[in-house]
Amino acid sequence: MKQGLCSLGDHRADPTTGQRSTQVERHAQILQYLDMAEPLGFDTVVAGEHHFSDFIMSVPQLFLARLAGRTEKLRLATGVTLLPHHDPVRIAEDFATLDVLSQGRAEVWVGKGVEPKVYDHFGQSPKEAMARQLEGLELLTKLWTERELDWCGEYRSPLESVTLEPRPIQTPHPPIYISCSNPDATELPAKLGLNLVMTGLAFDLAQLRPMIERYREAWVKAGHSHQGKVTLLAHVYVGKTTEAAIKHLEQYQFTFQKWVFAKRFALQPDEVSLPSRITNLGSDECVIAVGNAQAVIDKVSQLCELSDCDRFIVQCDYGGQPWPLVREGLERYAADVLPTIAKL
């Protein structure tokens, strides 16, 4: 089982003190966090993209390019690239360049985002999100695999006899993962022959296996000759004891999730009622891996089995948690959990 480390770069005040770091301090923490990935034994780093919010990581390519020169084996992925907001030509150039700089370690995870207002800020309609994403995916793959490309679409100007430079190293192109949060959505990446990424925070655990079955069935029906890969992401916190870990995360997880849900559904945080998959920490239905090392091993094993994933991504720097506690929890995961999960 491959394992990765993710940061989405939120910049929230510590809800227990009301204090918030500066943006410079938060960026420095993110860099320290991502720098720990390869020495601790992770295979992948994932950097998120958001705009106009307290998620302050808006250009993950810059973080990944920095890591390309500081690491040797680490896969470098975006979680996710909001493709509908971008010119696919620039995204193709960015990640072809990252692939060259890293000697073939770049990945693009693609999604439409969950904040409708962002589309307004980009002068777009949320109703166009899927069409823009599909067109972007088509052009992205063509730019990476074809030369002297002639292309015409709806959302950008035509291309005539274009050859993208530089050319990516990986063949046929850097891996593309599509973010999905419901069973119906899994059919698109399967039909396109692309990989799947999911986060259990978006749905109940009971949906995990049906989503994978839907993806696998659609993949077989499409007749692809290669095998689709599945990545699962989850929030993780490893404490000295399960009681201490849950007590810690209760102070940060719920406030953070109310803020996230409010952004998704245009609500105020105090109007949000969180689902039990998030609030019932330590239970079988919980989608968050929290507890002592053995409790986290058990939960991550459950998540991996249900999702049939071949890579598990850890996210633990969120919600205004003090950096020393984030670092300690990450070090505990690397020492006491990662080796066991690697054997799955």
**CATH at residue 31:** 3.20.20.30
Q: For position 293, what pLDDT does the model report? A: 98
Q: What is the tens place of the pLDDT at every residue in 55-66? A: 999 999 999 999
Q: Please give the average per-residue pLDDT across 322-343, as a whole number.
A: 98
Domain residues for the domain of 62 are 2-235+299-342
Q: What is the tens place of the pLDDT at every residue in 6-35? A: 999 999 999 999 999 999 999 999 999 999
In a domain, 276, yes or no: no
In a domain, 25, yes or no: yes
3, pLDDT greater than 90: yes
Q: For position 116, what pLDDT does the model report? A: 82
Q: What is the tens place of the pLDDT at every residue in 293-318? A: 999 999 999 999 999 999 999 999 99
Q: Please give the average per-residue pLDDT across 229-257, as a whole number.
A: 97
266, pLDDT greater than 90: no
Q: Please give the average per-residue pLDDT across 278-294, as a whole number.
A: 97
User: Would you say 175 and 195 are in contact if contact means Cβ atoms under 8 Å apart?
Assistant: yes
In a domain, 27, yes or no: yes
Length reported for the chain: 344
In a domain, 285, yes or no: no
Q: For position 182, what pLDDT does the model report? A: 84
Q: For position 202, what pLDDT does the model report? A: 87
181, pLDDT greater than 90: no
In a domain, 106, yes or no: yes
In a domain, 253, yes or no: no
Instruction: Work out how many domains the chain is built from and give that number.
Output: 1
Q: Which two tokens stand for residue 18?
A: 């009301």
Q: For position 257, what pLDDT does the model report? A: 96
Q: For position 141, what pLDDT does the model report? A: 97
Q: Please give the average per-residue pLDDT across 185-199, as a whole number.
A: 96
In a domain, 250, yes or no: no
- Dihedral, 95, 201, 16, 282 alpha carbons, nearest 10: -130
Q: What is the tens place of the pLDDT at every residue in 126-175? A: 999 999 999 999 999 999 999 999 999 999 999 999 999 999 999 999 99
Average pLDDT of the chain? Answer: 96
In a domain, 51, yes or no: yes
Q: For position 114, what pLDDT does the model report? A: 82
319, pLDDT greater than 90: yes
* Better pLDDT: 89 or 114: 89
